[in-house]
Amino acid sequence: MTFENSILRFAAVLVAGLLGGELAARVRLPRVTGWISAGIALRLIGLPGLESGDFREVFGPFVDFVLGYIAFSVGSALHIASLKNAGKRLTLLIATEATITPALVAGGLMLVGDQPAGVSWILGAVAIAAAPGTTMVVVKEARARGVFVKTLIAAVALIDMTAVCVFAVVAALLRADQSLSPGAVTVALGTAGRELGTAILVGLTSATLLLFWVRRLRPNAAGPGFLAVILVSWGVATALGVSAILACTCAGLFLSNMRHDTARAGQAYLIPFGEALFTVFYTVAGMQLDFAHVTGAAGLVGLFFLGRLVGKMLSSFVAMSAAGMLPEVRRYLGLALLPHGGVAIGLIVIVQETPGLSWMADTVTTVGLAALAINQLVGPSMTRFALKRVGEIGLDRPRLLDFITEQTILVGLQGQDKRAVIEQLVRRLCATSELGADIDQLREDLLRQGEEDSSLVGPGLVITHAVIEGDGPVRGVLGLSSKGLEFAAPDERRVHAVLLLVIPATEEAHYLEIVAAFSAGIVSNPTMRYQLYQSPSAAHAHKILNPRGDIDFNCFLDETLIASSPPPPTQGNATPSL
């Protein structure tokens, strides 16, 4: 029996990938490592009809679709409101990734590997790329959640966009002048800018058309429309000769920020098929990896791998340190960024298919694919190791205080009076939450409630809330002031934390549990109270509010909330505010 039939080929790849994934899981490796290993094994075994690793004719459209799906999903993760407190660290990370990583890779290849500047800088641009699909699979499998995970997911999306942009600039420079002389910079930057602008326009147009379709014609058709956006963005960008990956990423980004609920509904459409899609995709990727390349260019591959590893770790450490991030994020983010995936492959293919770059295609393909093979085998385990070291594995279970996320924490709260303080918190709440209510009326209700009937829950902590009609999750925002505010608290002490809540009518009982949880943490744990009030950033505060396995304070909802949690304090038992 041969595997000339396309459906039979897909079946063989899927079955091999599923088996490889299960074997990897049994030895505590990420399933994606098993999928890639299964593809390598298929290539080595050489079943009739599956002897070659080049199946572009059969698997090409499928691979393009999954790449588009990954790019769109990554773009959707860049929801601006959800990254309210992450802007500084992500901006710094993009700056360091765009400079340090390619400089180290290109410098090593030129100075030690004796490679031409053009080849070295193209490989330096390829080295920037991350692996959003691999990273998302590892995070999902590890059931990880937290500040580190949020930073990582947003980072891989922005890093891939950065890789595409840097590659476009370098490629344009090389097409204009292979010597990379300063005289070619203006023309090359203009060409690269037009290509990138066109890709962004394609993504924006596709997202806008989907919103028109969903809002005006088919309100319940977000799922099929989601597929159409991916296919249209990829197809139009390819036809125009611009980055299809960037176009799909921009489509997801625009859709997520113009209509976040539609983006989430579209993503949910493919969730039941996600593992099957990724299984085939990464098994096919493994079939494309030829380790014979490693022996033929071992020195250059080693330089590329080492330069990229050092670049990732150094750039993330510098960026996170400058942003004042948590120590574990500074130490392990670079390691979690080691996987190398679809965008890198796409950039290598562009080198192969661009006439002006054909002179370097053999070297770029050999070094790039060989190093990618190593990164794809080692990288997922490194990401899993980083998640374990920062303590965010297994935290995707819902907690009582899940409504308090990093973006809904406001550090450095200020205000001359109670109304000014609450106004700040209401603005942050409206900017970061989909409230599903009359915003103006809700604002007035919160201001009135905050001025008339705020509850002193513990030393330095005040809670105010408003009840809205209907159902849905609890929404809230937490403001922190290390200096303290004159808030007219019942105990006449300065207030260091103000928690503002929006409680749906169906969740009013939940309010008492939230008050009890804060009472348990603020009243009975002076150390935690001091650390929370003095948090230098929202990320630090979020970590304090999510202690590992501490069900006395912020319990997992599938566990029993301790019934003996101390009641909210009264004015008579107030303790020092810090």
Contact 421, 477 (CB under 8 A): no
Task: Say which DSSP state 50 is in.
Answer: -
Highest mean pLDDT among 130-139, 280-289, 297-306, 550-559: 297-306
At 565 the pLDDT is 41
Question: Percent of the chain at pLDDT above 90?
Answer: 16
Digit-coded pLDDT (tens) for 297-324: 788 989 999 999 999 999 999 999 998 8
pLDDT at 562 (0 to 100): 39
What's the mean per-residue pLDDT of the chain? 79
Please name which of 565, 548, 558, 435 lies closest in space to residue 500, comparing C-alpha atoms. 435
Model pLDDT, residue 322: 93
- At 576, the pLDDT band (50, 70, 90 cuts) reads very low
Q: How confident is the model at residue 178 (pLDDT cuts 50, 70, 90)?
A: low
Token pair of 147, please? 């500040």
b/e map of 381-405 (b: 16 or more CB within 10 Å)?
bbbbebbeebbbbebeeebbbebbb
Between 119 and 567, name the one with better pLDDT. Answer: 119
pTM of this structure: 0.73
State the Cα–Cα distance between residues 205 and 228, nearest whole angstrom. 12
Place of tokens 């990880």: 144
Please check whether residue 2 is in contact with residue 31, taking contact to mean a CB–CB distance below 8 angstroms. Answer: no
Place of tokens 């009518």: 505
Determine the 3-state secondary structure of 468 from DSSP: strand
Q: Is 62 helix (H, G, I), strand (E, B) or coil?
A: helix
User: Can you tell me the distance from the alpha carbon of 573 to that of 575, in angstroms, rounded to the nearest whole number?
Assistant: 6
Above 90 in pLDDT, residue 19?
yes
Question: Which CATH number is 406-573's, of 3.30.530.20, 3.30.450.20, 3.10.180.10, 3.40.930.10?
Answer: 3.40.930.10
Maximum average pLDDT range among 26-30, 267-271, 455-459, 556-560:
26-30
pLDDT digits (tens, 9 = 90+) for 471-492: 777 888 899 988 888 766 665 6
- The segment(s) of the chain belonging to CATH 1.20.1530.20 are 6-389
Separation CA 82–CA 62 (nearest Å): 31
Q: Check whether 559 has a pLDDT greater than 80.
A: no
Instruction: Assess whether pLDDT exceeds 50 at residue 566.
Output: no
244 vs 88, 171, 200, 350, CA distance in Å? 28, 16, 10, 11
Of 524, 512, 516, nearest to 562 by C-alpha is: 516
Residues facing 111 on adjacent strands: none
Chain centroid, CA 474 distance in Å = 24
Mean pLDDT to the nearest integer, 509-529: 77
CATH 3.40.50.360 at 6-389, yes or no = no
How far is it, in rounded angstroms, from Cα 334 to Cα 377? 17
pLDDT of residue 34: 84
**What are the distances in angstroms from CA 371 to CA 195, 302, 311, 338, 347?**
28, 8, 15, 11, 14
In the chain, CATH 3.40.930.10 sits at 406-573
Q: 235: which 2 tokens?
A: 């197809």
Residue 65's CB is within 10 A of a number of other CB atoms, namely 17
Read off the pLDDT of each residue in 399-420 and give the average, rounded to a whole number. Answer: 81
pLDDT in tens, 327-370: 889 999 999 999 987 778 778 877 877 777 878 888 888 888 77
